[in-house]
Amino acid sequence: MDIIKIINRVEDIDLKITDNLDKITLAVSYFSKKLKQNFGLNSSQLTCLYILSARNAVSLHDLSKETYLSPSMITNVIDKLEIKKLAKRRPSRKDRRKILVELTAEGKKTVEKAPPVLRYKLLAELSKIRHQEKEKINAALCKLISYIAFEETAPVLNKKAAKDLSAFKE
């Protein structure tokens, strides 16, 4: 890839797009830093707490799918939440081989005090937009992701997300 040729072909709109992506990255980074400072949690941990608060008990597999985190990452997140006494594991009553995760009383208190995860804040804002506009935003984001998502990122994305992205690859 010849960077000089690419730079010479860049249009103002290209720079605006990449600048806006940088702003998104900075906003996520800032939110994560403030969350860690104020609550001692990272975004993945808080997201799991919100999911657990919405449902009584969730399997590690379902948490992994819902958060787009690998099973090993979810295990790590839940380990840390257990150390902080915010969540606990227990065997399923229906199938004792299946492990479920649920909030502790302390975890419930933390969710009540915690700020909304950026994902949920964005969902609230998106709910105000017409469906047609959301479709355009989604298509544009999927296309952008396909430009930067490489095979090396596949383990990070779950199968559904990888399938959605494959529709945009040429």
Give the pLDDT confidence score for residue 104 in this predicted structure: 96
More confident residue, 151 or 168: 151
pLDDT bracket for residue 157 (50, 70, 90): low
pTM over 0.85: no
Strand-pair partners of 88: 102
For residues 130 and 57, is the Cβ–Cβ distance under 8 A?
A: no
Buried b (16+ CB within 10 A) or exposed e, 31-44: bbeebeeeeebebb
pLDDT bracket for residue 168 (50, 70, 90): very low
Give the pLDDT confidence score for residue 52 in this predicted structure: 95
**Orientation angle between helical segments 71-83 and 60-67, nearest 10 degrees:** 110
Average pLDDT on 17-28 reads 92
Percent residues over pLDDT 70 in the chain: 87
